[in-house]
Structure 1
């Protein structure tokens, strides 16, 4: 039963799923009416289920912010590790970029419906998270692009695209194609989103914005402000408030 307080929580998935999923999460929305939340780019792909409506869908990697309606009740999600969604969903990440797609459009007929039915039968958030985790893990395909961990590490370090390609042993065109498939973004956009997400998290901990800019690789605080406005649609102060 909802207690009048809106809550968002994350936890690690079951050990068997930790190579695929970064976390499982839940949101308990106690507000009596639907409200709007701002979703910003974070290089993540999530499978999301709304108990109140039965919706079961995939939120692809975003390149811009968008506003999502949150209906009262429980929401449960499973978040893929960055670059791992193709293994769990069977489609390249760029096919889902800036999209919200019914899971039934990605999985074979009946599989998503059976999962939705099983989720509806759960009595707690923890049970629903377990059902969702097991279902996603059961369909995982082997054969991850072996370059994905290196691409992600170099992108987080802010390496130039040419240097990334040289390190991995690819042409820049090959690197771009493989980044799109794994992350939904080319390498430059991937770097931009990862840097923004790191800055947002750091600012959310109370770090001074000038320090945030320095520590996350922006030229200065004004550069940080422009990028936040471009990707989030609001100022950094508004974003973390």
Structure 2
């Protein structure tokens, strides 16, 4: 379980019973404070805050929470890349860089009932997880093709090598990727590489070694990509509370 506290409040995370997913909660600290960006990771989330269920689409840049209506405790399930569209019933590219009420995707009556269930639950985290598990049971297992795309790209394979390993051409891989991930495989690879670099850097690995291990050309390439995707330097991200 991941657990953090600081000026921005408390964040907790644990693995979900839904394979590949994670459950998380964020409770803001009282009073004003800096806002930690939500960094792009190739994932989509289903979120609850009292009286509202909504979906965070796949991001291509850092998202800054804190807009009107986003205060208060948030609970979310972060789906493994490529799995949310089947569960939610919407292509990922339609939600790219967006936050959308679940009532815009499902019937309003159904969403009101589900929202009331989570609102009234003693444990909203478990209630949201049960909602996702029920929906996943209705939609069947994840597509193994998509899981293999993620595995190969996250291992540092090029788009061309990934397509070849899967027995498709680059154009078909791109077509399959858009509705599943929200963008093409080249962009997905970039998001996964960013997350690899952040994980390595958080262990204290020097930036030059982090760049090499994560698949960047050099430290300067790492610095540019982090800045373009997050709006912050790697040092600032690592020092965020």
**TM-score, normalized by length of structure 2?**
0.88
Partner in structure 1 of residue 165 of structure 2: 167
Query: 1:35 offset after TM fit, Å?
Result: 5.5
Match of 2:128 in 1: 132
2:214 maps to 216
Output one character per residue of 1:82-127: Cα deviation in whole Å (capped at 9) or x when no partner.
Answer: 211012101121121111110111123322211211121124xxx1
Which residue does 1:55 correspond to in 2?
Answer: 52
Alpha-carbon separation, structure 2, partners of 1:95 and 1:8 = 28
For the pair 1:64 / 2:67, whether they are aligned, the reply is no
Aligned-partner SS, 1:41? coil
Structure 2 unaligned spans of 5+: none
Pairing 1:57-206 to 2, within 5 Å after superposition: 57-69=54-66, 73-123=72-122, 127-140=123-136, 141-142=139-140, 144-206=142-204
Mean Cα deviation higher: 135-144 or 188-197? 135-144
SS in 1 for 2:76: strand
Structure 1 stretches lacking a partner, 5+ long: none
Please give the secondary structure, in 2, of the residue aligned with 1:66.
coil
**Aligned-residue RMSD, C-alpha:** 2.1
Q: Counterparts of 1:230 and 1:111 in 2: how far apart (Å)?
A: 39
Match of 2:14 among 8, 11, 30: 11
Structure 1 residue 222 displacement after superposition: 0.6
For residues 136 and 107 of structure 1, what CA distance do their matches in structure 2 show?
Answer: 14
